[in-house]
Structure 1
Amino acid sequence: MGGGFPSAVVDDDVEAMTDAGLLAVNEALASVGRRVQALQARIAHGISRRSARELGADGLARKAGFRSAEKLIAATTGGHVGDAKKLVQVGDATAGRMTFSGERAPARHPHVATAVEAGVLSVACAGAITTLLDRVACRADRALLAQAEQTLVEQAAGLSLSELQVVLRRAEAWLDPDGLEPKIENLRDARFLRIWEDQHGMINLDGRLDPATGAPIKAAIDALVTAQIRALRGHNQPGGKSGTPTEESASGDGGWSWGGDDATTAGGTGEGVERRTIVQLQADALSALAKHVLGCEQTVLPLASTTVVVRIPLDALTTGTGVATIDGLTQPVDAGTARRMAADAEIIPIVLGGKSEVLDFGRSRRLFTKAQRIALVERDGGCANCAAPPGMCEAHHLNWWSAGGATDLDDGILLCTSCHHMVHAEGWDIRIDHTGVWFIPPAHIDPARTPRPGGRRRHDYQPAA
């Protein structure tokens, strides 16, 4: 009979813990889990080596009654074969090697190996990093690869796998810019949209859009949904405030309303309570855009502050080679695609390294300008904390305007509504310096109050200078 902890005892202990205690135990267990994963990866590497195909029936897995090392490992762990393959892959990438002369050599990916062994990098994140590095190894400069490995390991600390994958997409474009153009061409060739009516009378949409095609659509729908949410801010709570925009959220939409009626926005009460879900708001936004194009009497859409921004380095703009990004999307595009998009009057190209305008206004104005927002997106990427798209964020003063704050970039930050409320409700501090944005947690979350990176430093690939 296996040992374990009585569930009733554990439940009592958990209930007795403080919030700080729960967070501390969670972190400790995560660290232990990563160290166990590191050992599993090493063992998986050993099992794989002793189960090599050329060994045939003498291989370890075959002798144990399994067709492969991965199937043996999966049966032991109770996980998927894919998880076992990841353990083997990471074990192979991080184990020391033997030279032909019998001497020991470092692991193929030494920075990843060190982080995995120290318990600071999970097997899942290690596998994602090594997969990328192996994929571009034959095309990327060896020195840049080594530098990228170290940078990615450092950035991965504190990121979830999904957050790291965004960083890896940017890193791949930087390491292998020549491979980006054919990738974007393949994405464009794979675009499609199907629309049909089903047997229930519902209009169905199914499609996939490449970045250049989808960016304007996403930006427009996000803007309509965000404007509607801001216009009704406070109405969804009993006795809530009116929807008057705050100084940070003025959108210039002229009170334009769309897609709702008393049944959906107020439950028939006329109180303006928004009852639609986000996906319903998105559906109504798409319908509103179509009505407008088809000749709706309303001539102004609430998109005055909405712009598709393509960011491209000056040398990439002039040479036509290199990497560019589109605000609100995680997939980089090649310079050629960016130049074609920049030819559209509705899309603003931001040339990085070109001449800049004055973006600090001190106390001379209260609201952040569009140019300032574009500059804040360059620094923060979107929400500086959670990386929500720029269209879902507002520019906030770190030091409130009413308390003497200035409308300067060093006193401004992009935050989504949820993170803005979290910062104020939980007592987080924010510091902005020449290295970027830093979030300082309250003592009840981290007694040491260790600054955590935000903005592009956290959510984008930042190659070493």
Structure 2
Amino acid sequence: MENRLDGIAEALAALTAAGGGQAPESLTPGALVAVNQAFGALLRHVNAAFAPVAAEISRQSRTELGKESLAKTQGFRSPVALIQATTGSSVAEAVKIVQVGEATAPRMSLDGEHLPAPHPHVAAAVASGALSVTTAAVIVTLLDRLAVRVDAGRLDSAERELCARAPGMRADDLARLIARAEAHLDPNGVDDRHEDRRAKRSLTIHERDGLVHLTGVFDIETAAPIRTAVDAMVTRIMQGNEHADDATRDHRSPTQMRADALSDVCAHAIGCTRVPTAATTTVVVRMTLEQLESGLGAAQVDGTDAPLPAGAVRRLAADLQIVPAVLGGDSEILDWGRTTRLFTPAQKLALVERDGGCAFCSAPPPWTHAHHINWWKRDHGTTDLSNGVLLCTGCHHRIHNDGWDIHVDGTGTTAHVWFIPPPWIDPTRTPRPGGAARYALTA
């Protein structure tokens, strides 16, 4: 506990040095960013210190103690209710801090031997302030769920790697990392999870106040053609808007565009007299030829986080145009030098394999363009994978306008993309990882 209190004291000192005692409106943009970072560190250290306390409250409130339970003696039905009332947190937040406290606290065997925490790497990352309790709870939940199916040594390596990758990730990036980690560690479990999700698919349609409400929940397999068709139509409109003037610009919001796209697809289906046997939608799926032939293992559908069983891909292949991620063969040239200015479809597929969508913000592949890192005209850049990067329109403008540098480490589809911030954002110019490599575990 003393070490954790030291962490709080250090975080408080950092907050004061950053200007945390000043009125926020008086801070410069740089100072405001520094104060924001200092507050984040302080919150992580406070929760790290509180987690073992919450775990001990839970231990002293276990069910077998009956009326002697600590929570019940304080007038609460459970330790979570006690913590929730004391901290003002939600039930979910209280559950997470108890879970992390129990997962990161040292144990004692029946014969009195001191044992390490159930998740020592998570414990170290939380104690250092690198991981928030929320992020730690997500990692612990994954590891505990896989404990009966995955070798302990692999889980330990995965825990170490997840703790190294997760700090600083947004919630959606963390979800993507966890989904791909689970598929990597337990590919045989993808089928069971997919069938569970598939059973929950539903679509309800009702009218209220002159509006028709569609509420849908779809598994990845069912949603693939819907999402691909709608995204393709909306992307085409957004691309047209990029160079349009105010008179020709489509002023609909993206949500309105999606609604109209779905209506257009259905209107076409009503008027279509042909049996839909031909391929009508292109879905890019990333898997090995062996997985496709055997129907075993997990595949990744472009634009989605959760994996899809290889068997489901075989079902999709009967109705949709499947583009396999078999790239760089004799039939396609992936490096063109300066013989051509525009990236080819094969090159973009290769960039999608490497970048996974927008390499900066992770927007889905259909929303992106292939851009030259060193510009074709100004810098005499080549039309090669090593000089290409997938970026959505917003990130493309932001990176160029703000002065970010991009570096590609390695060659081909396994290379790593790094974004180097300008000095006014980060004086140290510490490279930030981009592309699909952010979510790929090696354990």
Aligned-partner SS, 2:242: coil
1:420-455 CA-partner distances (Å, limit 9, x unpaired)? 111012111111112500011111211111001011
Residue of structure 2 equivalent to 1:417: 393
Asked if 2 retains the 8 angstrom alpha-carbon contact of 1:19 and 1:444, the reply is no
1:60-459 → structure 2 map (5 Å cutoff): 60-196=70-206, 198=207, 200-235=209-244, 242=245, 271-295=247-271, 307-344=282-319, 346-351=321-326, 357-403=332-378, 404-434=380-410, 435-458=415-438
Matched, 1:14 2:9: no
The ranges of structure 1 where at least 4 consecutive aligned residues each deviate by more than 6 angstroms after the TM superposition are: 352-356
How far apart are the structure 2 equivalents of 1:10 and 1:449? Answer: 24
Counterpart code for 1:388: A
Aligned-partner SS, 1:386: coil
1:252-284 CA-partner distances (Å, limit 9, x unpaired)? xxxxxxxxxxxxxx7xxxx12332111111111
1:45-60 → structure 2 map (5 Å cutoff): 45-60=55-70
How far apart are the structure 2 equivalents of 1:378 and 1:105? Answer: 43
Distance 1:345 1:199, change over 3 A: closer
Aligned-partner SS, 1:445: coil
Unaligned runs of 5+ in 1: 1-8, 236-241, 243-265, 297-302
Aligned-partner SS, 1:205: strand
Distance 1:36 1:185, change over 3 A: same
How far apart are the structure 2 equivalents of 1:352 and 1:132? Answer: 32
Unaligned runs of 5+ in 2: 1-18, 273-278
Counterpart code for 1:442: P
Asked if 1 retains the 8 angstrom alpha-carbon contact of 2:386 and 2:408, the reply is yes
Shift of 1:12: 5.8
Shift of 1:292: 3.5
Distance 1:70 1:343, change over 3 A: same
Aligned-partner SS, 1:453: strand
Higher helix share: 2
How far apart are the structure 1 equivalents of 2:182 and 2:100? Answer: 19
Aligned-partner SS, 1:203: strand
How far apart are the structure 2 equivalents of 1:64 and 1:77? Answer: 15
1:267-325 CA-partner distances (Å, limit 9, x unpaired)? xxxx12332111111111122223334449xxxxxx99x83101112442343321111
- When the two chains are superposed, the root-mean-square deviation of aligned CA atoms in Å is 2.4
How far apart are the structure 2 equivalents of 1:158 and 1:184? Answer: 29
Shift of 1:456: 1.1
Q: Alignment length, in residue pairs? A: 415
How far apart are the structure 1 equivalents of 2:313 and 2:59? Answer: 46
How far apart are the structure 2 equivalents of 1:310 and 1:18? Answer: 47
